[in-house]
Amino acid sequence: MKVGIVGLGTMGTTHAAGYQSVAGAKLVAVADIQPNRSHAVAERYGVRSYATLAEMLEAEDLDVVDVCLPTFLHRQAVEMAAAAGKHVFCEKPLALTPEDAKAMVDACRKAGVTLGVGHVVRFFPEYQKAKTVLAAGEMGKIGTVYMYRGGGGFPTAWQDWYARHEWSGGIVLDLMIHDLDFLLWTMGDVERVFAKSTWRRDYGRMEHALVSLRFANGVIGNVEGTWLPLESFKTEFEFAGTNGLLSHSSAHAVSFKSHQLQTPGEAGPQGVTVPRSPVTRSPYSLELEHFIDCLHKGVEPIINGEAGLRAVTLVAAAQKSIETGKPVGLERG
């Protein structure tokens, strides 16, 4: 599968690295309106670079377009790629609104191409392990769940697009959708959502939100997300069931620690950040490998367009609750 990536910011470069270890995929081209971005990646991996998706589609014979653009540009790019008959992998969130997401799902169906969405949390080993344990019923019947994500500070990006709510959708759509998608996957449909956020109340861009969820199966959920710069980025969850508690905190999942006593000499590796919880395969690579594998086999990826739409729909309900101060009901999907 010949792959082209559009958007080479944080995620585009992560995906470019990810494809290097994906069997059955070959990154052949990249596109970014900032030439320095596209040239750097093109040089590193020996691929061709373009300024826009249209140019890349025109010049290349791609099988897959990987969309790593800012969220507000997802719909346009996905529709363009689908119209050109390309399979599409799109970063999460699929779109800004359920309407956009639905249109994208329809466009891909109509074009007969496969759409995959980058809800990468489902490929993080600690979350995968939790999914396995929960799906096996080992925790018994789940009663309450808490999930947390954030503290790494406000994301730096092209044109500061995260700071514009109409471009990023704010923290619930951008960040908390990771946990909301994971809960839809593990706990099923949500019946009702009630949410509060600092958006338009406090803090400006450093949004912090608390979401209350009631699932169709009765489970009560509490999801928290923050863009505040706390001591470090952290993820946490706890599932409380009749057979006990299943919990995780990235603050404790530290398998490697190092404290630099002296700056190494010229020759030494300077300024490298080392992961504190290293794994042999990056979840970003695994999510792409799964998608490519599904294309080869002609089967639906686990996070298809509908899954992306479902998550965006839940976010829209939470956002509506934040705006109205009222609980918002959801239809069973």
Partner 1 sequence: MKIGIMSFAHLHAHAYVDAIRQMPGVELIGVADSDLSRGQAAADQAETKLFPTFEALLESDVDGVVITAANADHRRLTEMAAAAGKHILCEKPIATSLEDARAMEKAVKEAGVKFQMAFPCRFIPAVQNLKRQYDHGGLGRVVLIRSTNRGKMPGGFFVEPELSGGGAVIDHTVHIVDLVRWIFQTEIVEVYAEIDRHFHDIPTEDCGLLTMELANGAFMTLDPSWSRPDDFYTWGDVYLKVVGTNAVSEVDMMRQSLERIGAGKPNYEWDFWGSNSDYYLVKEFVDSFREDREPSITAADGIKALEVAAAAYESGKTKAPVRLR
Ligand X SMILES: NC(=O)c1ccc[n+]([C@@H]2O[C@H](COP(=O)([O-])OP(=O)(O)OC[C@H]3O[C@@H](n4cnc5c(N)ncnc54)[C@H](O)[C@@H]3O)[C@@H](O)[C@H]2O)c1
Identify the sign of the CA torsion 258, 264, 269, 271.
positive
Q: Which amino acid is at 149?
A: R
The number of residues that bind partner 1 (CB under 8 A) is: 34
CB of 299 to ligand X, least distance (A): 22
158 binds partner 1 (CB under 8 A): no
Residue 129: which H helix or E strand, with range?
helix 125-135
Task: Report the residue number, 327 or 333, with the smaller CB distance to partner 1.
Answer: 327
Q: Which does 142 bind (CB under 5 to 8 A by kind): partner 1, ligand X, none?
A: partner 1
Q: What residue has token string 């020759």?
A: 267
218 near partner 1, judged by CB under 8 A: yes
The C-alpha torsion from 64 through 69 and 74 to 77, rounded to 10°, is -50
Which residue's CB is nearer to partner 1, number 71 or number 198? Answer: 198
Q: Which is nearer to partner 1, 20 or 243 (CB)?
A: 243
Please give the angle made by the CA atoms of 87, 24 and 178, to the nearest 5 degrees.
60
Neighbours of 117 (CB within 10 A): 35
150 binds, among ligand X, partner 1, none (CB under 5 to 8 A by kind): none
CB 149 → ligand X: shortest distance, Å? 10
Nearer to partner 1, 21 or 212 (CB): 212
Q: Determine, following the binding rule CB under 8 A, whether residue 244 of this chain makes contact with partner 1.
A: yes
Contacts with 199 (C-beta within 8 Å, 6 or more apart), sequence order: 165, 170, 171, 207, 209, 322
Q: Classify 221 as helix, strand or coil.
A: strand
Residue in 10, 21, 128, 222 binding partner 1, rule: CB under 8 A: 222
* Interaction of residue 230 with partner 1, rule CB under 8 A: yes
Q: Which is nearer to partner 1, 297 or 332 (CB)?
A: 332
Among 164, 165, 196, 276, which residue sits at the site for partner 1 (rule: CB under 8 A)? 196
What does residue 253 show for φ and ψ, rounded to 5 degrees? -80, 65
Pairing status of strand 64-67 against strand 142-152: unpaired
Residue 195 · residue 210 · CB < 8 Å: yes
Single out the residue of 312, 111, 143, 133 nearest to residue 241, CA to CA: 143
Record the tokens describing residue 98, joined without a space.
């359920």
Task: For residue 93, say if its preceding peptide bond is cis, omega within 30 degrees of 0.
Answer: yes
Applying CB under 8 A, among 45, 154, 203, 233 the residue interacting with partner 1 is 203
The residue ranges that bind ligand X (CB under 6 A) are 6-12, 31-34, 37, 52, 68-71, 73, 91-92, 118, 120, 155, 157-158, 161, 174
Q: Which stretch binds partner 1 (CB under 8 A): 6-14, 97-105, 135-143, 272-280?
A: 135-143
Q: Which residues bind partner 1 (CB under 8 A)?
A: 141-144, 146, 192, 194, 196, 198, 201-203, 208, 210, 212, 214, 218-222, 224, 226, 228, 230, 240-245, 325-327
